Amino acid sequence: MKVTEIMKQKLCFSFEVFPPKSENPIEPLLNTLDHLYKFDPDFISCTYGAGGTNAGRNVEICKAIQDSGKSTAVTHFTCIGNSKEKIAQELQAYLDRGIDHILALRGDFPKGWKETRGDFNYANELTEFIKENFPKFCIAVAGNPEKHFQADSFDTDTTHLRIKQDSGADFIMTQLCHDVNQYQWWVEKIRKAGVSIPIDVGVMPVLVKDPTIRMAVSNGSAIPRDLAEIIGRYGDNPEDFKKAGMEYTIKQIHKFINAGIDGLHIYSLNKWKDISDIVNEIGIRKIQE
């Protein structure tokens, strides 16, 4: 079933994983997936390195998810350094493997790049290309509740999101946002601007201090006072930090659910044990043995 159909019926629940580097084995991630399937996720998305750096491994992992029969695979895909011809080949390869859900992204520029160096400059162009030439795909696009860090204003970023919808996007997957009030403000803003497609909210679990800070800063996301307090109080003690961070994450998830969302997407960071503890605690899915 298409993810957008699920969203019409209930709160969609999903995970994100990232593929291993080509020189590393895939078995640990397959084992992680086996643990995540136990929560009966509606889909599992797999990241794609800008410039296709891990394209092969991404396809392997998406195929494993799809072939498991236990979830739907959603592949991330970027247009960085990609020609139309190569994109068409890669999209067909996904469809040939039964993978018909895609997150259409521009991608982050590799160090020193100021443009995509490919045939598409923005995600809306990729979205339009997919819609026109590969209509079997259900297409997600990225949304930024705190505005994309390169956008001059919320107004222009909202206009660009509306263009992605009008180019054929079926739903939005959000960038991490620790501030639920800010998320609600943004939803109101984009709805007023005519963005009406469902929103799948991405939650980044707070587990380790340095990556928590790094990921927020690199995406232009705020660290709210209560999270800053955890960093200040437990930053030198990884165990206490994780415990407080997990409690914080569980509270955030409840706040998002209460705010009324179409989907909850947990960035699993490939850490099935911590993620299982969080999901068990939020109680929205019981383990299926």
- Judged by the rule CB under 6 A, the positions of this chain that interact with ligand FAD are 47-48, 50, 76, 78, 103, 105-108, 122-124, 142, 148, 150-151, 156-157, 160, 163-164, 173, 175, 202
- Give the span between the Cα atoms of 76 and 102, in whole angstroms: 6
Secondary element (H or E) of residue 139: strand 138-143
- Smallest distance from ligand FAD to CB 50, Å: 4
Residue closer to ligand FAD (CB basis): 58 or 242: 58
CB atoms within 10 A of CB 188: 10
- Smallest distance from ligand FAD to CB 239, Å: 29
Residue closer to ligand FAD (CB basis): 83 or 156: 156
DSSP secondary structure letter of residue 263: E
Q: State yes or no: is 16 an active-site residue.
A: yes
SS3 253: helix
- Smallest distance from ligand FAD to CB 68, Å: 20
Tokens read off for 154? 């919320």
Residue closer to ligand FAD (CB basis): 149 or 234: 149
DSSP secondary structure letter of residue 109: P
- Smallest distance from ligand FAD to CB 8, Å: 21
Residue closer to ligand FAD (CB basis): 157 or 262: 157
Q: Contact, 258 vs 181, CB < 8 A? A: no
Residues 6+ apart with CB under 8 A from 150: none
Tell me which residues are annotated as active site: 16
